[in-house]
Structure 1
């Protein structure tokens, strides 16, 4: 019985260590920024091609749309905070 208890204890410790172990992964900001810029450029080029406009106009419209989405999200976030604080 003691052997079984010891095996269960060791197994639980191993599984717990694997499940909850923290692993430090360094975030590569430069790589993330490069990927984001490439995705933005691809979206701008697609918008320009689909709407038959210049790259400059497409970029301006794209960034205006992004700014509007951020503003909309901020408004939604503020509304959620207000409703949560009233509870």
Structure 2
């Protein structure tokens, strides 16, 4: 699946920004309103992605979870070593 995403983004780099629209870049601390947006293509150049075969050995699976409480946000992440790198 990741290989298909790589090839689609490499062939059509603006697809992600078109799909996500004008997501804000952040929140203005004075007003609390979203600011910026529409600059995803400035941050990521998907044309520079390598062939998926070249990096597939580094990709396996990742499990991530997040919980919130009055104390804050807690992230948990599990990334085993891919079998081809052992």
In the superposition, the TM-score normalised over structure 2's length comes to 0.25
Bigger Cα Rg: 1
In the superposition, the TM-score normalised over structure 1's length comes to 0.25
Indicate the structure with greater helix content: 1
Greater RCO (CA < 8 Å, at least 6 residues apart): 2
